Structure 1
Amino acid sequence: MVFRLIADRALRAINPPAPEPRPPAPAIPLFYDFVTSGLEVAFEAACERLQVTSIQPPRRVPGSKSCGGPVEARDGTAGWVKVSGVPSGHENIRRERERSARAIANVRTPELLATTEWMSGAIEWQAVLTRFVALPDINQFVSDAGGSLARNDDWIAQLRATLDQIAAIPTAHYCLTEQYVAGAIVARFGPDAPRVAGEWHTAHGDLNWGNLTVPDLVVYDWETWGLAPRAYDAAYLMVHSFLDPNFMARLENEFSDEFSTESGCVGLLVACAEMLNFIEARRHDEHHGRNIKAIAHRGLARYFEAASGVRD
């Protein structure tokens, strides 16, 4: 018995048993390759690194890729801190796009005051401090104040001028790809719909109600900017305004000259296709989808009318 125990020990020394498998490390929850947890703690760390005082808890939508909140610098300057994190060593195109947008001129964006970056565990955090913009975004203007921009000629004029300025920004990177655009349009509107854009202009790429202010127009969040089919930004904002049909109709009329071109119709159709996918995925009221489809069909009618040279 003793010899057997000695033999067993010797065998184990020569051929040690395989170690118990370790449970896999918990995956870091991501949204567009950004982390979605730990943002509030990172916000506190950012304020300390930037030497600012938080005025109120940071705002964020559950599961979102960043959080932000109002702060005050030691000299009394009012600012806004935005915090985001990415896994260490992970290339993040949206973060790089936002950094490159700091060099954009002639478009009104929040003034950059400072930035800071740091590592915590396996996360690369970034905080951006901008001067506070004391203007409501469209979401706040519509939901809190009950307003509408449908008859605000001054704001519409600001929008048109701003989109012209953005379109003229020189860049070599893309917001959308030709393959993506064609696939989205064909899937929704069939193979006869125009899907190849000859004109690609610079676009913000995420022109929704949360990224534009009222009554003076300031443009936030440049994480997706790049080349897109003509009129994509105008179409994107229009279809994202389905909660205010009058404003949506005003934008459709205001940019009808853009949407009537072949490339502008492509920009319109891809924005409509994206919104229809979103409405169905989120199970929004069906009448919103019908409104978007009606816009797309009117855009197709204008395009084919212009292409054939037919006029009433």
Structure 2
Amino acid sequence: MTLSVSKGQTVDLRTQPVDEVLDRVARSLQVRFLPDTVVRKRRSVGARSNRDTWVRVERRLLDKITDQGWNGTECAARLEGVAQPAWQGCVVWRDVDGPVMWRADETGLLPAAPVGSAVLSEAPELPDEWWKALNASLDALAVQRTKRVATPDTDTITQELVTETVRSAFPGDFDTHVRRWVPAHADLNWANMTAPVFSVFDWEDWGNAPQGLDSASLWASSLAVPTLADRVRQERRRDFESRDGKLMTLFVCSKILGPYAHPEDPRLESARCMAEQVIEELQAR
């Protein structure tokens, strides 16, 4: 037995008991977890093992698992030129108490600590070499070939989703059609990258997405620190100048400004100003 969760109930693994889940994973992978290394997030729990690996355990509802499966971290192991921890193995099972799947992926340890939280409030100290490594990995990722489709926020990204999300916040007269789809991490933020040695992790949602999704997502995670947001736009200029990159800028802005906007989000004004600028640029084309 894992967690006793009723159907449709929202579960936050930061507050729910997870000892039985971790015990099951430890037995299956034949590892022992170091108790003081456990990191708990809303949908996942991670810990360091006694064989110097990291194990990430995620809970996902069945209706959030598409026909392509739920093995993003495993599939990402074949990506060339992308700095990431080496994948080593996994265990997957269905919860007996509801429409839920559990998956644990074991990878090598991160080469450094995560940069920070998903949305930063202070600028991190990142050397030029770090930005070069970021660009090299994102550029290498974009030229890979895959049949996977990205699932940002566990939602499969489609043309329909892009249009609906953008229109939920910006009902203006401009075309929302995506022209170029390329492989993307699909959850690129400051909590999923390391520094001072660059690597990117948490690959469960990667797949094809509109060009510029990763760059726009990282920019959105930086908006509370204007100089950092500007640096992201400078480094990923080619994405942001593309038509699809402009659409992805609106896509991430709509998540900040749309129906679920938080009134105290420090990114609101910056997102609003950028959205107005981008809409003007799209209407001028």
Q: TM-score, normalised by structure 1?
A: 0.74
Give the SS at the match of 2:77.
Answer: helix
Residue 47 of structure 2 aligns to which amino acid in structure 1?
Answer: G
Q: Which residue of 2 aligns with 1:216?
A: 197
Instruction: Give the CA deviation at 1:173.
Output: 3.4
Residue 69 of structure 1 aligns to which amino acid in structure 2?
Answer: A
Task: Return the structure number with greater relative CO, CA threshold 8 A, min gap 6.
Answer: 2
Percent identity reads 23
Q: Which residue of 1 aligns with 2:109?
A: 132
Does residue 1:45 correspond to 2:3, yes or no?
no
Residue 44 of structure 2 aligns to which amino acid in structure 1?
Answer: S
Q: Rate the CA distance shift 1:294–1:120 in 2: closer, same or farther, 3 A.
A: closer
Do the aligned residues in 1 keep the contact of 2:192 with 2:200 (CA within 8 Å)?
Answer: yes
Q: Which residue of 1 aligns with 2:165?
A: 184
Give the SS at the match of 1:190.
Answer: coil
1:259 to 227, 240, 262: 240
Equivalent positions of 1:162-311 (< 5 A) are 162-175=137-150, 176-277=157-258, 280=261, 282-285=262-265, 287-301=266-280, 307=285
1:92 to 65, 81, 91: 65
Structure whose alpha-carbon radius of gyration is higher: 1
Q: Which residue of 2 aligns with 1:148?
A: 124
Instruction: Give the CA deviation at 1:153.
Output: 2.3
Q: Distance in 2 between matches of 1:154 and 1:196?
A: 35
Aligned residue pairs total 269
Do the aligned residues in 2 keep the contact of 1:260 with 1:303 (CA within 8 Å)?
Answer: no
2:35 to 36, 56, 74: 56
Do the aligned residues in 2 keep the contact of 1:39 with 1:83 (CA within 8 Å)?
Answer: no
Residue 284 of structure 1 aligns to which amino acid in structure 2?
Answer: E
Do the aligned residues in 1 keep the contact of 2:93 with 2:101 (CA within 8 Å)?
Answer: yes
Q: Which residue of 1 aligns with 2:50?
A: 72
Do the aligned residues in 2 keep the contact of 1:67 with 1:82 (CA within 8 Å)?
Answer: yes
Q: Unpaired runs of 5+ in structure 2?
A: 151-156
Does residue 1:83 correspond to 2:57, yes or no?
yes
Do the aligned residues in 1 keep the contact of 2:120 with 2:225 (CA within 8 Å)?
Answer: no
Instruction: Give the CA deviation at 1:140.
Output: 6.4
Do the aligned residues in 2 keep the contact of 1:40 with 1:67 (CA within 8 Å)?
Answer: no
Q: Rate the CA distance shift 1:140–1:274 in 2: closer, same or farther, 3 A.
A: closer
Q: Distance in 2 between matches of 1:98 and 1:92?
A: 14
Q: Distance in 2 between matches of 1:265 and 1:91?
A: 27
Instruction: Give the CA deviation at 1:166.
Output: 1.3
What's the Cα RMSD here? 3.2
Q: Rate the CA distance shift 1:217–1:301 in 2: closer, same or farther, 3 A.
A: farther
Instruction: Give the CA deviation at 1:116.
Output: 2.6
Instruction: Give the CA deviation at 1:206.
Output: 0.7
Do the aligned residues in 2 keep the contact of 1:199 with 1:229 (CA within 8 Å)?
Answer: yes
Give the SS at the match of 1:164.
Answer: helix
Cα deviation code 1:194-245 (max 9, x no counterpart): 4112111111111011111112221111122122221111011101112322
User: Relative to total residues, which structure has the larger helix share, 1 or 2?
Assistant: 1
Q: Distance in 1 between matches of 2:178 and 2:63?
A: 32
Do the aligned residues in 2 keep the contact of 1:136 with 1:214 (CA within 8 Å)?
Answer: yes
Residue 187 of structure 1 aligns to which amino acid in structure 2?
Answer: S
Q: Distance in 1 between matches of 2:236 and 2:55?
A: 34
Q: Distance in 2 between matches of 1:148 and 1:110?
A: 22
Q: TM-score, normalised by structure 2?
A: 0.80
Q: Which residue of 2 aligns with 1:106?
A: 81
Q: Which residue of 1 aligns with 2:9?
A: 29
Give the SS at the match of 1:83.
Answer: strand
